[in-house]
Amino acid sequence: MEKRDSFGSKFGVLVAMAGSAVGLGNLWRFPYLVGENGGAIFIIIYLVFVFLIGLPLMINEFVIGRRSQANVFGAFKTLCKDKSSLWGKVGIISVLCSLTILSFYCVVGGWTIDYLFRSISLQFTADTNYEQMFAESSAHVFRPLISTCIFLFFTALVVVLGVKKGIEKYSKIMMPLLILMIIAISIRSMLLSGAKEGIDFLFKPDFSKLTGQTVMAALGQAFFSLSIGCGTIITYASYVKKEEHIINDSFYTVVADFSFALLAGLAIMPAVFAFNTSPSEGPGLVYITLPHIFAQIPAGGMLAIIFFFILLFAALTSSISLLEVVVAFLIEEFHLKRTSAVILSVAVSAGLGVLCSLSMGLLKEWTIAGFTIFDCLDKLSANILLPLGGLLFVLFAGWKIPKADYYDELSNSGTVHVKPWLMKSIRFIIKYVAPVVILVILIVGLLPKQ
Ligand code: TRP
């Protein structure tokens, strides 16, 4: 079997973690959910979940990953003392969940490549029909399939190179660039005349919009955006050296991810309102509304290129983290070579991705409970599979990993000083608060609408 790779530096760990967290979740999913779920009220609930549940869960995955030094399946196998217990097999759910997310993620990644191409070839003009353009990019039979495969190919290229030479090196270049670009775009958007209404939409809550579904969508988005609940953080943390400060790294990642989501909101909503378009457009928001807006503002063509460039590269740093979960599993559990593991996993995701993509057009009629395959995978994975995965992780860590071991990992065997009250609070949230909150929200969210 290949020797285990690891991250080379602290900065490398941070950018790789932030790279995984910041992605289409922030730039595509967050704005459209904010639009669909009433604006500020959604953001407030999301903020509470990110820090109350998301941060402790990220720390928890860090503990499981670094302590076991193994892929997500191996992690449970290693840490579970009782070899006959089902807990030792729980990791397989995470591998399947990552594969599921990757298969619709690569479709949206494909749309992004298509739109980058369209922006470079100056197709965003004042009289283009953007609904039709989005339909061509997403519901057409072949066009989206080609772009989906190109996206998967780029993802595979980075993962084949491994952790230090691929993932870490690539994230170090992309992440700082991304931050600069999104700040530039949000400033431009906030300077539009009529932007104020969009800013109000983001920051002035309307409590009448609050429903069980809003709460569930906010929890699901917290999981999705932070990359928690399906072993991505466990896998990355297994490449992290023992000296790394788990709590600090998790905190910075969460803050970076939340700030990025807010910046994405500030880039998109003021423009949506300034041009009188609807914020509740759904998954097409970024692809239908934005190009329309870019076509109408000075230097919009240039901004469009920058925006889709950001979207593509943010998506790639995330999709490589999803692919790495599956690849690490195949390498360590089945002793495959990295390249073969990548080819196999990409082939499976491409197969599922094709179905997903076709469900936007040709297979539109194939629905489960009224949802197309694409919607099912998107909503099912974020709102149900990820919270369920997170629930299993906290139950395992809280009730199966001894307290002393947990504290030992949090404090790097006592070599970094972590305040005792902080360790106790984290353990308390993991053991009692998070399981109850997640369960209650899952139950409330799944109740039929009143
Ligand atoms: N967090 C990424 C985003 O916001 C997507 C992602 C990467 C992800 N790894 C994950 C989502 C693991 C859920 C679970 O785009």
Please report where in the chains the tokens 């983001």 appear, as a residue: 202
d(CA 363, CA 355): 8
Q: Which comes out higher in pLDDT, residue 281 or 266?
A: 266
The tens digit of pLDDT for each residue in 238-258 reads: 998 888 889 999 999 999 999
Helices (H), 238-282: 246-274
CA distances from 404 to 57, 59, 198, 412, 414 (A): 18, 16, 49, 12, 11
The pair of structure tokens assigned to 242 is 């023992």
Which range is least confidently modeled, 45-49, 171-175, 207-211? 171-175
Mean pLDDT of all residues belonging to the chain: 89
pLDDT classification of 84: cutoffs 50, 70, 90? confident
Query: What's the gap in Å between 212 CA and the centre of ligand 1?
Result: 23
CA-nearest residue for atom 12, ligand 1, is: 227
Q: Which comes out higher in pLDDT, residue 81 or 337?
A: 337
Question: In 3D, which of 291, 276, 125 has the Cα closest to residue 201?
Answer: 276
Phi, psi at 245, each rounded to 5°: -85, 105
Q: 70: alpha, beta or left, given left = phi > 0 and alpha = psi -120 to 50?
A: beta
Which range is least confidently modeled, 181-185, 218-222, 316-320, 394-398? 181-185
pLDDT classification of 112: cutoffs 50, 70, 90? very high
Query: Which of 258, 322, 377 for mutating ligand 1's site (highest number of atoms within 8 Å of CB)?
Result: 322
pLDDT classification of 2: cutoffs 50, 70, 90? low
Find the residues whose C-beta lies inside 6 A of ligand 1.
Answer: 20-21, 23-26, 101, 224-225, 227, 229-230, 232, 318, 321-322, 386
Query: What's the gap in Å between 84 CA and the centre of ligand 1?
Result: 32
User: What is residue 37's DSSP assignment?
Assistant: T
pLDDT of residue 449: 59
Question: What radius of gyration, in Å, describes the C-alpha atoms of the chain?
Answer: 21
Measure CA 168 to chain center.
18
